[in-house]
Structure 1
Amino acid sequence: MLTITVTPRTTDDMRAFYGFTKEQNAALDRLLAAANQEMWNTLLYGSGGEIVAVALSQVGNAGGQPYWIWYGFSSRVEWCANECG
């Protein structure tokens, strides 16, 4: 079972937590500029909230069946993104 914990952080929290450099802070400021807000909303939420709707449709899908079927497996398969062992 996969458990994901999301901890909200402000941008200022992130700057401190990850120790952003002067250049990284400037890049973050450019990305978060008001002129880019519509782009971020579309990217994160889709034009009509499609991404959020898909995520909500997966709540409770503990076995991940749609995903392992896509790859031709007949049952759940354990895997590891790195070299396991």
Structure 2
Amino acid sequence: MWQSAYGHRANKATWLYYVGERAPFQLRWERPVGSHQVGFHDQRGKARNKPTLNKREANATPPDFRDTLIALALWSYPQALSLAA
């Protein structure tokens, strides 16, 4: 999936592996085009280059994506919440 669907300014791909007692809820699978890039210049030509994010922002996880991953983990094993309380 793409973190740009959750607010990251670059097209940042992320693999997810889900294990749980019930099927995962619906996630955002679209691939919005990022306004920035991570890393080196685009090899397809200078016209395709976008502003490059600094290392800290490039590595950051958008808060909306973080919250979704936490909710997904809690959703996967609902009885774990009652055991933790």
* TM interval, short-chain normalised: under 0.3
- Greater per-residue helix proportion: 1
TM-score by length of 2: 0.21
Q: Larger radius of gyration, structure 1 or 2?
A: 1
